[in-house]
Amino acid sequence: MSAGTQSSAIDPDDTMKILIASDVHLGYNEKDVIRGEDSFIAFEEVLQHALENDVDAVILGGDLFHIANPSTNTLNRCTRLLKTYMLGDKPIKLEFLSDQNENFLESTVNYEDPNMNIAIPVFSIHGNHDDPSGFGRISSLDLLSTNGYVNYFGKWTDLTKINISPILLKKGETKLALYGLSYISDARLARLFNEAKVFLEKPEDAGWFNIMVLHQNRADRGPKNYLPEKSLPGFLDLVIWGHEHDCRIIPEENPAKKFYVSQPGSTVATSLAEGESIDKCCGILSIHKSLFRLDPIKLQTVRPFVFETVNLEEFADELQLDEGDVQQKVQNFA
């Protein structure tokens, strides 16, 4: 747990266990005969870890799907996996205390739906790959929410101001305030923060552990093209940061604001970037009152990806790069 606190004397009935993951990108390269199964295999491993660790919930940081309008094959595979691992007779130990009409658009939390038999509730925001589009601004996550498989939160229709009302969950003596901010273009979000038009409502009583889940550029990619951590309010305890694919899941403290940031990274490589070569992980987040611990789990089913940098100047003479078809020679060398 944070601050080096030992967990040996902590009552498990007062401890929330949550699996966190992000950027699953279901359906990525699904028609490729070699890599087409990769995204589904990795997601299944994530859900298996949730089941094996007897977690109270799963939180996903956006980009569950690789495209906004996934194929029927991808939707079918996703719902089958959620049905297999998230449904069952296990009692839900999380009390839902907030106004569901404020937390979810046109839906209720799935484990309180008498028509569903949820064993492990999944909470997810959307990312830039699976954001709402087309007529009615409906996303693939809306479909999963309507079907009762996912609790879709953090969706905004009014982009002139953002007022985030947290999902309030309680287990024993531990209280969690969960804030969701689905993907918004970095330039627009930067403007809203600069104009003080982003508000996070705090619970009236004290003693809440505050988590924010978002999906934005974290690395500085130029003015108004990322979300500076300093823009976020200091009362947060932990930020789960989706979108960035390199795994930095071990919580890092922001020295100015004193909250921690966990960046799960993606579960499948979708680009030839150095960050994709880092081990892929999900994690088990344990929360007890104001304390927390995050235990990374390295995914074993992810296809290995090796990234190396080669200085062609060192091979110029060997490859005779000063003559002939240089591009073809480099391709043959690679």
**Strands 174-181, 208-215: parallel, antiparallel or unpaired by DSSP?**
parallel
Say which of 25, 129, 215, 288 is annotated catalytic: 129
* CA gap 133, 334 in Å, rounded: 40
Burial string for 238-273 (b: 16+ CB within 10 Å, else e) reads bbbbbbbbbbbbebeeeeebebbbbbbbbbbbbeee
Q: What is the 3-state secondary structure (H, E, C) of the chain?
A: CHHHCCCCCCCHHHEEEEEEECCCCECCCCCCCCCCCHHHHHHHHHHHHHHHCCCCEEEECCCCECCCCCCHHHHHHHHHHHHHHHECCCCCCCEECCCHHHHCCCCCCHHHCCCCCECCCEEECCCCCCCCECCCCECHHHHHHHCCCCEECCCCCCCCCEEECCEEEEECCEEEEEEEECCCCHHHHHHHHHCCCEEECCCCCCCEEEEEEEECCCCCCCCCCCCCHHHCCCCCCEEEEECCCCCEEEEEECCCCCCEEEECCCCCCCCCCHHHHCCCEEEEEEEECCEEEEEEEECCCCCCCCCCCCCHHHHHHHHCCCCCCHHHHHHHHC
Max CA separation in the chain (angstroms): 74
| 126 a catalytic residue | no
Q: How many CB atoms lie within 10 A of CB 331?
A: 9
- Residue numbers annotated as active site: 129
